[in-house]
Every structure is written in structure tokens, then in C-alpha cells.
Amino acid sequence: MRNCCDMRGFLSFIVLKLICKRNMSGEDIRQELKKRKGSKPSPGTVYPVLKALSESGFIQEVKNGAKEKKYKITKKGKNELKAATRKFCMIFYDMKDEFQKRC
């Protein structure tokens, strides 16, 4: 997640955040993003992100015998997410109020 929070490409950030909450597969992630965004990201969008996160050591495959690969976040990934979250909150500082209004 080299350039996370450089103002473009928050996808890997979100994906890492999602996997942090619970182990997820590529399909799980596509589903979840469909719920949030309205549109389901294409396979060519999601899988390369998973690969990159995996190669960076931020997530790790959980073997469950099935075709579907679930990923879990690693220690390293948690640290990365923490740092990215800090940045995110600084950048989108104002959004705090919006969330409060809404939730």
C-alpha cells in the first residue's frame, strides 16, 4: 500500500480495513463493495489488489481447502492499517461531523 492516502487509490486501504474486520475472499470483498458503492468492482480490480497486499505481507491466505481463498490480516498489515488510518483521519478531519450527523 505504497501510496495509500496520497489522495488517490483508497481501494487497497478499504480492502485492508475490510479484511481486518473479518477474513474475506475476493468475492466477499466485491460483494461488500457493491453494497457500499452501488457498483461491483470488476475482478481485474480486486484480485491485483489482494495480490499486492499479500506480496507486501499485509494479508495472508487462510487455507480452508475450498476453491475460495480467504485472507486474514497480518501483524504487519495491522500496523500498516493503523498508520494509514491515522493519515486518513488527518486528511478527512471534517468528515467526523458528517458521520455523526448520519450515524
Site residues, a second copy (CB under 8 A):
5, 7-11, 14, 17-18, 21, 36-37, 85, 87-96, 98-99, 102-103
Segment contacting DNA (CB under 7 A): 4-12, 76-84, 86-94, 95-103? Answer: 4-12
Grid cell listed for 36: 457500499
Angle at 12 between CA 63 and CA 51, to 5 degrees: 40
User: Would the CA dihedral through 73, 75, 76, 81 be positive or negative?
Assistant: positive
Q: What distance in Å separates the CA atoms of residue 11 and residue 51, rounded to the nearest whole number?
A: 13
Q: Give the x-and-dash track for 44-83 against DNA (CB under 7 A).
A: xx-xxxxxx------------xxxxx--------------
Grid cell listed for 28: 466477499
Applying CB under 7 A, the residues found at the interface with DNA are: 2-3, 6-12, 25-27, 39, 41-45, 47-52, 65-69
